[in-house]
Homo-oligomer: A and B are copies of this chain.
């Protein structure tokens, strides 16, 4: 069922599938992303996408890959060279904003178990990891980078999911931003009642 004055062959079905998948994701959520729907939207038979993607998972992973690259760009744009807690909070806000604005994409990126065989996924995760470590080393020069990076990523990631799941108010982007900034500052300013942190270093677990 060709549509234009055009051809049996599509030209760039691979890219067209990706685009269609992204659109379906935004319109109908993750469950609406079926290979057949993608094919329909690309104006192509149901099985044509299999020439470019081994199976549904492969398409989804490709979409996730795009998402990772976009996320990286979005964060870098939020602050090119973070050095202070405020800068970190700004990037955290951007991370959560990204998730809230593209909920289905974000879920695709992070919700499914990360297939260790998928090179793109593994590499993307590693890139985020490096990025976070870099920031943490700048902002917390005296801390153990690995441990604190884990914690920082977890904090931000958790904030994203709680907002995503409607467990937290997310009326306006500004509200979200303010909540995230407040949460980040609250954690690093908190002083526990019975186990006061030592200043200037990481305290080991007992």
B165 and A113 contact, CB distance less than 8 A: yes
- A125 interface residue (CB < 8 Å to B): yes
B185 and A188 contact, CB distance less than 8 A: no
Chain B's nearest CB lies how many Å from the CB of A190?
A: 5
In which size bucket is the chain A interface?
35 or more
Seen from chain A, the residues whose Cβ lies within 8 Å of a Cβ on chain B are: 29, 83-86, 88-89, 103, 107, 110-111, 113-114, 116, 125, 129, 138-144, 147-148, 150-159, 161-162, 164-168, 178-179, 181-195, 197-206
B205 and A182 contact, CB distance less than 8 A: yes
B83 and A191 contact, CB distance less than 8 A: no
The quantity of this chain's copies bound in the complex is 2
A167 and B125 in contact, given A154-B183, A192-B188, A193-B141 (Cβ under 8 angstroms): yes
- With both beta carbons as reference points, the residue of chain B lying nearest to A198 in the complex is identified as B189
Contact of A190 among B148, B150, B164, B183 (CB under 8 A): B148
